[in-house]
């Protein structure tokens, strides 16, 4: 079943809202487990600049409307999307996917987003799949496997 959400406010950054005003939430939550180098993994996550993980987590915690897209689906040949070098803004293709590691992290810390809750209710997101991933992800932004990743 395809779920279509109509969204009018496209000004919110990093939320599932392609320019056409419709969104397939099941497609957005299509990633069922973190990628091999997901920054949310306790082991094997991509090395981030100092403070970056804290910035990501603070962004996620700032509003339950915020989300974090998988780095493998952002600005790629396969999925599209472009960066504006002058403004630093990302212009989504609409093919991006929510980071499965971020999903598990948010659920693990009791901070599921609005999009996750809608996903659970509509069947676009499977709680048992998310729960199975939770042991592999960090407990907090301060609990990283690589101490050089944060201040």
DSSP-based three-state secondary structure for 137: strand
Please report the pLDDT score of residue 91 as a whole number.
82
Please report the pLDDT score of residue 149 as a whole number.
38
Give the list of residues 6+ apart from residue 148 with CB closer than 8 angstroms, or none: 47, 50
Residue with tokens 């809750």: 117
CA angle (31 as vertex; 26, 37 as ends), nearest 5? 160
10-residue mean pLDDT series, the chain (151 residues): 42 46 82 95 93 94 92 80 84 87 97 94 95 95 48 35
Residue with tokens 């997901």: 38
Please report the pLDDT score of residue 77 as a whole number.
75
Distance CA 16, CA 30 (A): 13
Distance CA 20, CA 17 (A): 8
Q: Report residue 27 CA to chain centroid gap.
A: 13
Tokens of 59: 């962004």
Please report the pLDDT score of residue 15 as a whole number.
52
């Amino acid at each position: 079943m395809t779920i279509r959400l109509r969204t009018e406010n496209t000004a919110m950054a990093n939320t599932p809202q392609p320019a056409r005003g419709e969104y397939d939430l099941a497609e957005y939550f299509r990633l069922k487990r973190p990628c091999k180098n997901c920054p949310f993994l306790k082991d094997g996550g991509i090395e981030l600049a100092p403070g970056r993980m804290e910035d990501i987590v603070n962004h996620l915690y700032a509003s339950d409307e915020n989300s974090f897209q998988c780095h493998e689906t952002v600005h790629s040949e396969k999925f599209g999307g472009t960066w504006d070098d002058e403004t630093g803004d990302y212009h989504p293709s609409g093919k991006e996917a929510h980071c499965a590691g971020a999903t598990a992290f948010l659920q693990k810390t009791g901070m599921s987003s609005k999009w996750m809750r809608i996903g659970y209710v509509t069947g676009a997101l499977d709680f048992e799949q998310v729960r199975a991933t939770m042991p592999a992800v960090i407990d907090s932004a301060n609990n990283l496997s690589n101490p050089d990743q944060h201040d």
